[in-house]
Amino acid sequence: MRFLWPASLAGRITLLLLGGLMLLHIGSMWVHERALRGSEQGARLERMADQLAAARVAVAPLPEAARDAAAHAISRPGIEIHWDRVAPLPARAPPNALAEAAARLGPDARLGWDPKAEPGHRVLGAVPAEGGWIVFSVPWVTVGRGPLDHGAISSMVAMALGIALVSILVVRWITGPLRRLATAADRIGCDPRPIPVPMEGPEEVRHAAAAFNAMQNRIGRLLEDRTEALAAVSHDLRTPLSRLQLRVGFLPEGEDRTRMEADIVEMELMIARTLDYIREGRDAEPVRPADLAAILQTLASDAADQGHDVAYEGPGRAVLPLRRVAAKRALSNLVDNALRHGRPPVRLHIRDEGPMLAVEVSDAGAGIAEADRARAVVPFVQLDPARSGSGVGLGLAIAQRFAQASNGSLELRESREGGLLARLLLPRQAG
Amino acid sequence: MSDTAERRLLDPEAHILIVEDDGEMRNLVARLLREATFRVSAARDGREMWDILDSPAGQPDLILLDVMLPGASGLDLLRRLRERSRVPVLMLTARGEEMDRVLGLELGADDYVAKPFAPRELVARVRALLRRAAPADAQPDPRSRRLAFAGWVLDTARRELTSPEGVAVDLSGAEYDLLMAFLEHPQRILSRDQLLEVAKRRVGTDPFDRTVDVQVSRLRRKIEPDDDSPPLIKTVRGAGYVLVADVTRA
């Protein structure tokens, strides 16, 4: 039965509507039919009673020998009438199907049914008259149940189709806001910005949309608070970290000092990333034509100077309207992410995708499983808890935030080497 | 170079004034610079800075100014300082606060170091600034921080290079320093050694001789992106490199 029960709310409502309306339709047809046949049967019984009464009147003045012939003369198609001295049927209650007819014919009437008789004479009856019985036989006292005709069937099918079509449309219209609510709910968490759900549709759905929006705002505020707190901490950490860095500089050269310096650089980077994330979208940096290729060349050179295998392999120039500093920040996070979580060689590329330019950053590491990709861009989420020391989980989130603020998008795929391929799509035209 | 600049360059005891509100930080930076053989004075705020500047013996060769001072902000202090003095100013900014940095450079600071910074980087920047500092009368208008060459414009406050077509072209720190060196000496051959000095100001790279060639070729790729782009930097075989364009202050 399960396969008949649709999974979607719209399907279920459609099915219920269709089923209910069909039942109603069939029921009303049946009631109508019954009433029609009932009145027809009443008229028939009336006629039969009249004929029997006429037969009784006709035989009354006649001698016994002439009575049968006189009664027979009153026979009509559909009813054969005789006179007899004795009743052909015993005095007992008539079968249920004939009760109505018996009641109409009077308390002394006898009725019986003989299925083996000729088709025209299956019902046998007798009413008392003048020292004998008026005996009659009829095909059937009720109206025969004829099959439904083609017209009725096709009208019913047409009606069912009409009902189905209308109910699908209506139900889709009713459940539309619900579907939009579900779509919005799906995106929460993957998209740091709140997605306001339109307050439309029936009252319950409007209510749900309002509750959902309020919940999103609360979550947004919570995340905002958390980010603010992190920003404050990061901000305040810079001064003691500067002091620490200076102090370490006074220590004698050696392995300990080198490691401490490396730790400090690590901490600095974490702070920088956090502040990058918070700043993205808040700076009032103007959009102006900028060379994306130059930015990628700079990032590749800087990383290469620090001994990393990073190279830019795209075109010499790629001009598009850009917030240059923000773009550099976002892309530097992608490169950083590739070096940190992937494995060299890291390759940077720019590809032409019609109205968009795609910046590709690929590495040869283990990549991110498809199921984890949506989560990888959520701020503060680290996919690999074993390496939690190596970042705050903001690299991809910063790039994603930048992409969204620039009417672009960030896609994660698998690189040719099996690592991660991060694609930042940016529109060629401002808008 | 004038005599005073020459003397200052050779003076091992250049006088540096630190203006920094955080006591520990002040002491640590002072110690760092003293170990790097500078003479150091320290001020906690603007008032103390003016006191030192007003004392006859106190004229510093360079001021290290924290722009995140309480009370009168470091930027205000910088503005008032520039009204009366051309002394080189190295700003300490918070990392990533681009607006502070740009404002500071527009108000007349000569360079900046972002906190937290590597000690070596601070010393390198101080040295570079002292080396670059020219006598006050030779300084150009501090507000004209735009250098134009062959249709290109370099905004030194925003560290932004704009192509003749109006496209912002990103530069790495090393490329910026290199370009500045060329723009300060247009149509003069700069030897590898001279350019290596420039490269040494950058921390994080090991300046090999080859680095200069690599950096110059990277810079060229950005300002001469196509094969038919006019050559702006030419190689002089056995001597070094030369910027062939005229440089004007816009």
The distance from CA B34 to its chain's CA centroid, rounded to whole angstroms, is 21
Give chain B's largest Cα–Cα span.
59
What residues form DSSP beta bridges with A79?
A: A76
- CB of A289 within 8 Å of a chain B CB? The answer is yes
Residues A69 and A13 in one domain: yes
- What is the predicted pLDDT for the residue at B136? 44
Q: What does each C-alpha distance from A89 to A68, A108, A112, A197, A408 come to in angstroms?
A: 17, 12, 7, 81, 96
Asked whether residue A311 is domain-assigned, the answer is: yes
Question: How many residues are recorded in chain B?
Answer: 250
Q: How many CB atoms lie within 10 A of CB B21?
A: 15
Give the least confident one: A7-11, B173-177, B202-206: B202-206
C-alpha distance from A242 to closest chain B C-alpha (Å): 4
Domain boundary among A138, A159, A176: A138
Instruction: Look at residue B54 and tell me whether its pLDDT is greater than 80.
Output: yes
Q: Which residues does chain A have within 8 Å of residue B120's beta carbon, measured at their own beta carbons?
A: 249
Residues A238 and A302 in one domain: no
Domain boundary among A279, A303, A335: A279
Question: First CA to last CA across chain B, in angstroms?
Answer: 23
Nearest to A246 among B32, B163, B173 (CB): B32
- What is the predicted pLDDT for the residue at A388? 44
CATH (domain of B154): 1.10.10.10
Average pLDDT (B82-92) is 88
Chain segment B212-227, per-residue pLDDT in tens = 888 899 999 999 877 7
Range of the domain at B82: 3-138
Asked whether residue A362 is domain-assigned, the answer is: yes
Residues B32 and B124 in one domain: yes
Residues B105 and B163 in one domain: no
Domain boundary among B138, B154, B184: B138
Residues B186 and B234 in one domain: yes
CATH (domain of B94): 3.40.50.2300
**Residue of chain A whose Cα is closest to the Cα of B33:** A246
**ipTM of the complex in this document:** 0.74
Binding-face residues of B in 107-146 toward A, CB within 8 A: 115-120
CA-to-CA distance for A365 and B176, rounded, in angstroms?
Answer: 33
Asked whether residue A110 is domain-assigned, the answer is: yes
Asked whether residue A163 is domain-assigned, the answer is: no
Higher pLDDT pick, A114 / B64: B64
Domain boundary among B138, B170, B190: B138
Residues B159 and B215 in one domain: yes
Instruction: Tell me how many domains chain A contains.
Output: 3
Cβ atoms B96, A279 nearer than 8 A: yes
Residues B105 and B158 in one domain: no
Residues B152 and B88 in one domain: no
With a CB cutoff of 8 Å and minimum separation 6, the contacts of A193 are A220, A404
Nearest to B25 among A239, A288, A316 (CB): A239
Residues A383 and A269 in one domain: no
Asked whether residue A176 is domain-assigned, the answer is: no
Nearest to A316 among B98, B99, B225 (CB): B225
Residues A231 and A115 in one domain: no
Average pLDDT (B25-32) is 93
- What is the predicted pLDDT for the residue at B84? 84
Torsion angle in degrees (nearest 10) through CA of A171, A175, A177, A181: -160
Does B94 sit within 8 Å of A242, measured CB to CB? no
Q: Is the omega angle on the peptide bond into residue A345 within 30 degrees of 0, that is, cis?
A: yes
Give the least confident one: A143-152, A350-359, B105-114: A143-152
CA-to-CA distance for A57 and A50, rounded, in angstroms?
Answer: 11
Residues A317 and A366 in one domain: yes
What would the two tokens of residue A263 be? 């730790």
Asked whether residue A177 is domain-assigned, the answer is: no
Asked whether residue A51 is domain-assigned, the answer is: yes
Q: Characterize A278-317 residue by residue with b for buried, 16 or more Cβ atoms within 10 angstroms of its Cβ, and e for exposed.
A: bbbbeeebeeebbbbbbbbbbbbbbbbbeebebbbebebb
Higher pLDDT pick, A323 / A276: A323
Range of the domain at A29: 2-138
Residues B114 and B203 in one domain: no
CATH (domain of A345): 3.30.565.10
Give the least confident one: A113-117, A190-194, A400-404, B17-21: A190-194
Instruction: Look at residue B169 and tell me whether its pLDDT is greater than 90.
Output: yes
CATH (domain of A237): 1.10.287
Domain boundary among B83, B109, B138: B138
φ, ψ at A308 (rounded to 5°): -95, 150
pTM: 0.62
Chain segment B134-149, per-residue pLDDT in tens = 544 444 455 457 889 9
Instruction: Tell me how many domains chain B contains.
Output: 2
Q: Which single residue is written with the structure tokens 């549709």?
A: A201
Does A316 sit within 8 Å of B226, measured CB to CB? yes
Residues B123 and B8 in one domain: yes
Give the least confident one: A383-387, B54-58, B89-93: A383-387
Asked whether residue A157 is domain-assigned, the answer is: no
Instruction: Look at residue B1 and tell me whether its pLDDT is greater than 50.
Output: no
Residues A123 and A12 in one domain: yes
Indicate the pairing of strand A346-353 with strand A409-414: unpaired
Which amino acid, one-letter code, is at A176? G
Give the least confident one: A115-129, A375-389, B8-22: A375-389
